[in-house]
Amino acid sequence: MGTAFCNEEKINKMKMKNILVTGANGQLGNEMRVLSLENKEYNYFFTDVAELDICDEKAVMAFVKENEIDVIVNCAAYTAVDKAEDNQELCAKLNSEAVGYLAKAAEENQAEFIQISTDYVFDGTNYVPYRETEPTCPNSVYGVTKLAGEKKALEYCSKAMIIRTAWLYSVFGNNFVKTMIRLGKERESLGVIFDQIGTPTYARDLASAVFAAIRKGIIPGIYHFSNEGVCSWYDFTKSIHRIAGIGNCKVSPLHADEYPAKAPRPHYSVLDKTKIKHTYGIEIPHWEESLEQCIKELNV
């Protein structure tokens, strides 16, 4: 009976899907780690550059083949939007070329591929939420390279899913929420842009959506994901301070042109989530609801 149990355990382990998560030390990668504890039906390989350099095509191909990877979730990216303007080669390598290597490796091993992309593939001139079918028109190096990565993923892998997201934050790494909490405690006043509109995205909610897609099985194509609702960076900051109990810092609205940046930002980048909600049967929380969860976990 003991032997039968052991054999059954081996068979179950053999059937487990092997999931590779690249960029595992970033915001989304870390949230994938957190949720992996609740999704124990899979076998995970969490890698960052020390474990797997995704810019090395041979290393990527070998890793995916040797570990019999069934699903690749690429959370790795060059995300320093302003620095990208001066580091075009490195940005293109990480956001485009490396995506091509992962997509080819996925295709060769009949694996599914989830590529995380961005609202920066749009120029932000819309006035209604962007659907997946809208024409792309990036106006920054970051946006151009991320769009190139999307195209490579879809061209090289027949089981590729692109998830565009925006305004990502979490309890991990450096992000807008953490910065506004720190500045709110350090300063008496703060100016924040009010004429750029979008939707904050809690990385844990995005990770949940990734797992929903893996569970159902990838239906190839482009999808949009952010939390529900709409706000400006100014509104976002006011909510961050309110929830974090910061009351001694006066937050004032600024025009975008009062806060010069090397790379242009989309003025409007609200994403329409209808497709991902219907395809994978997911419900998405309002951004303030998720912000409360994150700040509670930060324990500020």
**Number of neighbours of residue 51 by Cβ within 10 angstroms:** 12
Q: Which of 142, 156, 223, 280 is catalytic?
A: 142
Where do the H-state alpha helices sit in 133-232? 141-156, 176-186, 203-216
Burial class of residue 228, CB neighbours in 10 A (0-12, 13-18, 19+) = middle
Gap between the Cα atoms of 272 and 190, Å rounded:
31
Q: What's the length of the chain? A: 300
* CA angle 224–227–232, rounded 5-degree value: 105
Catalytic residue check, 142: yes
* Distance (Å, whole) CA 16 – CA 9: 11
Give the strand pairing for 231-232 and 197-198.
Answer: antiparallel
Torsion 278-283-289-293 (CA) sign? negative
Contact status, residue 131 vs residue 272, Cβ threshold 8 Å: yes
| Catalytic site positions | 142
